[in-house]
Structure 1
Amino acid sequence: MYKLLFRLIKHRWLDRSDTLRAIPDDMAERLAQRVAASEARHTGEIRLCVEAALPSSYIWRSGRNGVPSALVRERALGWFGRLGVWDTEHNNGVLIYLLLGEHAIEIVADRALTRRVDHEQWQAMVDRLGSRLFKGAFEDGLTEALEEVSALLVAHFPLDAEALRPNELNNAVVRA
C-alpha cells in the first residue's frame, strides 16, 4: 500500500512545470524544427509528446506493483487519438511519447507503418531512447528517436519529389 501511495504522491507532485524544465522553450523549438525537416523527406507525420505525470485514475488502476507498461501504452494511445495522429491521409503518423514520472517511453505508429515495421524493431528503438532519457539527455534522446522514426518513414513512405506535401499536424512538442 505504501508503494501505491508513494507513486500517487509522486505523480501528483509532478506537473507541467516539470515538463517545461525537462523540455524548455528553446529545446522545444529545436525539436519542432527537426520534426519539420524530417517531414520534408517523407509523407508521414510525427508528434512528440512529453508528459510529467499520469492522472490519478491511472495510478489507482496500477495497484501496488507499479505502473505496468500497458497503462503507459494506454496513455500514449490516448494522446495519439487526442492529437489526431491516427487521422493522417496515408495513415502513417507516429507519436513519440515520454512520461517523466515513470521514466517511460512509448512509440505509437499508425496502421500503415505498423504493417511494415515489426514490434521488435519498435522495442529496440524504445530501449535505445530509454537509456538516453534515463540519463537526462532529453534532447539527444528525442532527436535520436526522431531520426530513427524518420529513417523508417523515408524507407517506407518517401516523398515524391514532385508532390506537394501539406503539413497535416502541428510540429510543436506537446508538453503536458
Structure 2
Amino acid sequence: MSIKRIARHLVQHHWRAKQIFPPKVLTRIEQAIRRGEATHSGQVRFVVEGALDGRPLFRNQPARERALDVFSHLRVWDTAHNNGVLIYLLLADRDVEIVADRGIDAKVGTQGWENICRAMEAEFGSGQFERGVIGGIEAVSRELAQHFPPQGSRPNELPDAPVVM
C-alpha cells in the first residue's frame, strides 16, 4: 500500500469531484448520455468518485476492482440485451475504467475500452474533465451504435444522470 496514494485520497476526498463536476457540468453529461442512447439500444452510466475512503482505501482497492463493485451496485449488468456500460472515474487516481456487460464487451474487447479510457485520461491530464467525459460517452455510444443499433421502442432501462460518489 502506497503512503502517497493514501495521502492523495485523504486530501482530495469528495469535495474535489463536486468542484470539477458542478451541477451545470453534470447536466451536460446527462444530456450527452441521452443523445448517445438515442443512437443505440444500449445503456450508459457515468460515475465519478472523488476518492476512496475507509475499507476500500486501506485495503488498496484498485480502480478496476472498485469499478466492478459500482457496476454491480448500480445494476448496470441488468439490461435486456446485456449491453450496459459503466464509465467510472476515480478522480484521486485520475484513473478511468470502463466496465461493460458481456453482450457489448465481447464485441468491443479490452483494447477498444482501453483506447477510450486513455483518450479520456489524456483530456483529464490537461484539465479538460468535461470534454474528456463527454468525448468518452460519445466514443462508447459509437461502439454501442455499431453493435446494438436502435430497434423498436427502447425503454430507458437505467438513469442517465451521472453519479457523484
**Alpha-carbon separation, structure 2, partners of 1:144 and 1:128:** 8
Matching residue of 2:41: 43
**Alpha-carbon separation, structure 2, partners of 1:127 and 1:9:** 24
Equivalent pair of 1:52/1:100 in contact (CA under 8 Å)? yes
Give yes or no for the alignment of 1:7 onto 2:5. Answer: yes
Give yes or no for the alignment of 1:155 onto 2:146. Answer: yes
Report the residue type matching 1:174 in the other structure: V
Give yes or no for the alignment of 1:165 onto 2:154. Answer: yes
Give yes or no for the alignment of 1:114 onto 2:112. Answer: no
Report the residue type matching 1:102 in the other structure: D
Equivalent pair of 1:12/1:56 in contact (CA under 8 Å)? no
Matching residue of 1:89: 80
**Alpha-carbon separation, structure 1, partners of 2:118 and 2:8:** 24
For the residue of structure 1 that corresponds to 2:59, the secondary structure is helix
Identity %, equivalent residues: 39
Superposition RMSD in Å: 1.5
Shift of 1:8: 2.0
Matching residue of 2:28: 30
Equivalent pair of 1:11/1:56 in contact (CA under 8 Å)? no
Shift of 1:137: 0.5
**Alpha-carbon separation, structure 1, partners of 2:121 and 2:101:** 21
**Alpha-carbon separation, structure 1, partners of 2:56 and 2:72:** 17
TM-score, normalization: structure 1? 0.88
Report the residue type matching 1:166 in the other structure: P
Shift of 1:61: 2.5
Matching residue of 1:77: 68
Q: Give ranges in structure 2 of 5+ residues lacking alignment.
A: none
Shift of 1:118: 1.8
**Alpha-carbon separation, structure 1, partners of 2:141 and 2:113:** 13
Superposed CA deviations along residues 24-58 of structure 1, whole A, max 9, x for unmatched, are 10010011011011111111000000110012323
Q: Give ranges in structure 1 of 5+ residues lacking alignment.
A: none
**Alpha-carbon separation, structure 2, partners of 1:109 and 1:31:** 19
Report the residue type matching 1:16 in the other structure: H
